[in-house]
Amino acid sequence: MNKSKLIVFDIDGTLTDSVTIHQTAFIQALRQMGVQEMDTHFKDYKHHTDSYIAKTIYENDTHLIFSEVELNQFESYLMEGMASIPIQEIPGARKLIHDLEIHSEYHVCYATGSLWQAAKYKLDSIGISYSDAVLVASNNLQGRADIVRQAIQKASEFYGIQAFESIISVGDGLWDLKTAKQLDIEFIGIGKKHKKILSEHGMKHHYDDLTTFNIFQLYS
């Protein structure tokens, strides 16, 4: 019987304390792209991903097309804005990933609304070891569900497991919970900031940070 479980990790606010840093660099990058006016209530956008929000803001303000060329330029500006700022881990993140990787029953992948280079920079900054093959960002996908779905597919191919016994999404935001529900996978919430609203929307398991996170106890 297949006992393999897949843990799909969000990054910002879940593994790295990088939400404010990312948003500041994001706004700065749009300014460098020539954007004058923007709605920075990012949670209100249809898709909570860099690719979708940047494209929507850029095209609404400049009335120009946000093509792959613009996306690449935006990503370069985003990285310039982040590169000089230290990224800290959510307490317990590095140890948790290490513990999961040495446990034969559990496998890990990463699904983020961030762009690729920024996602890699954050994981590298906190010393997490990972394969590019199991990291999916929003460069070519605008919807969170599509990103998580592709991460699961890539993990299946990378680990050579056709079907996991269970798949658990770990995230800090309402969009993470909604995506898990949409894909009919389990969810564990992280962090105090969105705990109330996550609970109101049906979150069953939650940890304030990753030092007390015990997936082995939940899914033994």
Query: Does residue 35 sit in the same domain as residue 133?
Result: no
Position 22 scores a pLDDT of 96
Query: Does residue 106 sit in the same domain as residue 51?
Result: no
Instruction: Convert the pLDDT of each residue in 13-27 to its tens digit.
Output: 999 999 999 999 999
Query: Does residue 61 sit in the same domain as residue 51?
Result: yes
Could you tell me the CATH number of the domain that includes residue 159? 3.40.50.1000
Query: Does residue 156 sit in the same domain as residue 183?
Result: yes
Query: Does residue 13 sit in the same domain as residue 26?
Result: no
Instruction: Convert the pLDDT of each residue in 124-148 to its tens digit.
Output: 999 999 999 999 999 999 999 999 9
Angle between helices 68-82 and 116-125 (to 10 degrees): 20
Query: Does residue 74 sit in the same domain as residue 109?
Result: no
Pick from 82, 103, 119: which residue ends a domain?
82
Query: Does residue 73 sit in the same domain as residue 144?
Result: no
Domain that holds residue 149: 5-17+88-218
CB 28 within 8 A of CB 77: yes
Count CB neighbours of 69 within 10 A. Answer: 9
Query: Does residue 113 sit in the same domain as residue 185?
Result: yes
Query: Does residue 92 sit in the same domain as residue 172?
Result: yes
Query: Does residue 164 sit in the same domain as residue 179?
Result: yes
Position 1 scores a pLDDT of 47
Pick from 50, 82, 114: which residue ends a domain?
82
Instruction: Convert the pLDDT of each residue in 79-136 to its tens digit.
Output: 999 988 899 999 999 999 999 988 888 999 999 999 999 999 999 999 999 999 999 9
Query: Which 3 state secondary structure label does DSSP give 5?
Result: strand
Q: What φ, ψ does residue 190 adopt, rounded to 5°?
A: -125, 140
Query: Does residue 121 sit in the same domain as residue 186?
Result: yes
Q: Is the pLDDT of residue 179 over 70?
A: yes
* pTM over 0.85, yes/no: yes
Task: Indicate the pLDDT class of residue 43, thresholds 50, 70 and 90.
Answer: confident
Average pLDDT over the chain, rounded to whole?
94
Position 84 scores a pLDDT of 82
Q: Is the pLDDT of residue 61 over 70?
A: yes
Task: Indicate the pLDDT class of residue 154, thresholds 50, 70 and 90.
Answer: very high
Q: Is the pLDDT of residue 176 over 50?
A: yes
Query: Does residue 110 sit in the same domain as residue 146?
Result: yes
Q: Is the pLDDT of residue 58 over 70?
A: yes
Phi-psi region of 217 (alpha: psi -120 to 50; beta: other; left: phi over 0): alpha
Q: Which two tokens stand for residue 185?
A: 């996978």
Pick from 82, 106, 130: which residue ends a domain?
82
- The domain total for the chain is 2
Instruction: Find where tokens 């962090």 sit.
Output: 191
